[in-house]
Amino acid sequence: MISTEGRVVYDEDMNLFRDQVRKFFDKELAPHLDAWEENGVVSREFWRACGEAGLLCPGVPAEYGGLGLDFRYNAVIDEELAYYGSSAGITLQSDIVADYIAHYGSEEQRQQWLPKMVSGEVITAIAMTEPGTGSDLQGVRTTARREGNEYVVNGSKTYITNGQNADLVIVVAKTDQNAGSKGISLILVEAGREGFKKGRNLDKIGQNSADTSELFFEDVRVPITNCLGEEGRGFAYLMNQLPQERLGIAVSAMGGAQRAFDEAVKFTKERKAFGQSVFDFQNTRFTLAALKAKLQAGWAHLDWCTARHLEKKLTAAEASAAKLFHTELQWEICDAALQLHGGAGYMNEYPIARLWRDARVQRIYGGTSEIMKEVVARTI
């Protein structure tokens, strides 16, 4: 269990909220995890249940159906979801897409989409990555050519979280191919538009219940009012939102790391070898002690980052450093925890196997560890 003792950014109200989240996940998430992993997608019923429980987009203002809460509430949900070992895409909707629409959308767009995102009626995605671009957002080839009062969208995207379930996609596209980063815009494309096709639900190493997909756009026509914010400002919007996106990944990384550590403690205390518990061997206790020290430092740093973000002071470099540190720590702890399980750790019946698999992509999406180092290095 994630301990809140001594965590400076959380108060008693937050702890009560966390208890509600845990009870909800016990009932609505835990019993279905294996089925979702097998099916490769989280059910829409779960999304609607999250909406009814107030666990979707808690930061959306009340006038659009939300609770108007600060990022700490998102973080509680992110931590607990990761601790349960789930890769459900509700964090993408709450932490990323909702903020794009709330901050840059027109009043009409906010009224149309935010209430349905809060309720779980609408599931969203953001389509950045393309087969040939990866972390290089300036190199996107998807275009949105303006014809009269419409954009005509052409191109393809890949590795898109919520891709199969998505009712609405924010598409990163070039509206001016000769303007570099200033030619990038964010275009809202609704599922069902002629020419918009969802490809495969991709076969991944981990995070199997997250529907990660290819998306194809062939002469997809949308009204120019589907431009999110100003035309040509898309790249600036993406850069503005990166600190919260990367902080959210760091939050999830710590939740997953804590669960892996707890699984290792539980297993080594229960498993016997040579007449004693595996935990009683000095190597086991020293390994766990070192990991616990790193977790202690990690939680403290995460709370520092969260406090900075609440004050709107968290910089892109600080957020990148947080993603780098916490996702690398998650991998270290998951790998060490699996090793302490011995052969059992390689068996899918043990939670550590899923935690280990799911952790691997954390060092890749949202910006690879190598890109994070580059961002941080520029500030030295």
Closest listed residue to residue 94, CA positions, set 62, 131, 54: 54
Report the largest interatomic distance among the alpha carbons of the chain, rounded to a whole angstrom.
79
What percent of the chain shows pLDDT beyond 70? 99
> Which member of 79, 245, 263, 318 is catalytic?
245
Q: Which residue has the tokens 């997608």?
A: 41
pLDDT digits (tens, 9 = 90+) for 301-335: 999 999 999 999 999 999 999 999 999 999 999 99
Are 263 and 366 part of one and the same domain?
yes
2 within a domain of the structure (yes/no): no
Number of domains present in the structure of the chain: 3
In this prediction, residue 136 carries a pLDDT of 67
Residue 137's Cβ-side half-sphere holds a number of Cα atoms within 13 Å equal to 23
What are the φ/ψ torsions at residue 284 (nearest 5 degrees)?
Answer: -65, -50
Amino acid letter, 59: G
Whether the per-residue pLDDT at 60 is higher than 90: the answer is yes
d(CA 47, CA 341): 34
- Band of pLDDT at residue 348, cut at 50, 70 and 90: very high
Whole-model pTM: value is 0.95
Same domain, 107 and 205: no
What mean pLDDT is predicted for residues 363-376?
95
Domain boundary among 122, 142, 168: 122
**Mean pLDDT value of segment 83-109:** 97
Q: What is the C-alpha to C-alpha distance for residues 217 and 212, in angstroms, rounded to an integer?
A: 17
Top pLDDT among 181 and 29 is at 29
**First CA to last CA distance, the chain:** 37
Task: Please check whether residue 358 lies inside any domain of the structure.
Answer: yes
Tell me the sheet residues that pair with 145: 152
- Residue 222, phi then psi, degrees to nearest 5: -135, 150
Asked whether residue 93 is domain-assigned, the answer is yes
pLDDT at 138 > cutoff 80: no
Nearest to 7 by CA among 300, 290, 339: 300
> 373 and 241 in one domain?
yes
Three-state SS letters, the chain: CCCCCCCCCCCHHHHHHHHHHHHHHHHHCHHHHHHHHHHCCCCHHHHHHHHHCCCCCCCCCHHHCCCCCCHHHHHHHHHHHHHCCCCCCHHHHHHHHHHHHHHHCCHHHHHHHHHHHHHCCCCEEEECCCCCCCCCHHHCCCEEEEECCEEEEEEEEEEEECCCCCCEEEEEEECCCCCHHHHEEEEEEECCCCCEEEEEECCCCCCCCCCEEEEEEEEEEEEHHHECCCCCCHHHHHHHHHHHHHHHHHHHHHHHHHHHHHHHHHHHHHCEECCEEHHHCHHHHHHHHHHHHHHHHHHHHHHHHHHHHHCCCCCHHHHHHHHHHHHHHHHHHHHHHHHHHHHHHHCCCCHHHHHHHHHHHHHCCCCCHHHHHHHHHCCC
Q: Is 4 inside any structural domain? A: no
Measured CA distances, 3 to 15, 47, 294, 303 (Å): 10, 27, 15, 13
The predicted model gives 102-127 an average pLDDT of 98
Section 224-231 average pLDDT: 97
Residues 6 or more apart from 324 whose CB is under 8 A from it? 369, 372, 373, 376
3 in any annotated domain: no
- The dihedral over CA atoms of 69, 74, 77, 83, expressed in degrees to the nearest 10, equals -150
* Last residue within a domain, chosen from 72, 102, 122: 122
**Rounded Cα–Cα distance for residues 122 and 50 (Å):** 12
* Tally of CB atoms within 10 A around 272: 10
pLDDT category of residue 190 using cuts at 50, 70 and 90: very high
Cα–Cα distance measured from residue 128 to residue 186, given in angstroms and rounded to the nearest whole number: 10
Q: What is the pLDDT of residues 269-304, one digit of tens each?
A: 999 999 999 999 999 999 999 999 999 999 999 999
**Whether residue 354 sits in one domain with residue 280:** yes
| 263 part of the active site | no
Do 59 and 144 fall within a single domain? no
The domain in which residue 280 lies consists of: 235-377
Mean pLDDT across the chain? 96
Average pLDDT over residues 56-62: 97
Q: Which CATH number does the domain housing residue 157 bear?
A: 2.40.110.10
CA 90 to chain centre: 8
Give the confidence band of 135 by pLDDT, cuts at 50, 70, 90. Answer: low
Query: Is pLDDT larger for residue 6 or for residue 40?
Result: 40
What residue type is 279 in one-letter code?
F
pLDDT band per the 50, 70, 90 thresholds, residue 5:
confident
Angle at 119 between CA 116 and CA 120, to 5 degrees: 85
Average of pLDDT values for 67-92? 97
Q: Are 127 and 156 in contact (CB under 8 A)?
A: no
Please indicate, yes or no, whether residues 63 and 145 belong to a single structural domain of this protein: no
Residue 25 lies in a domain: yes
Mean pLDDT (whole number) for 92-115: 98
In this structure, which amino acid lies at residue 198?
A: K
Kindly indicate the confidence band of residue 134, based on its pLDDT and cuts at 50, 70 and 90.
low
Place of tokens 């919007």: 237
User: Which pLDDT score, from 0 to 100, does residue 326 have?
Assistant: 98
Do 196 and 286 fall within a single domain?
A: no
Residues 178 and 222 both lie in one domain: yes
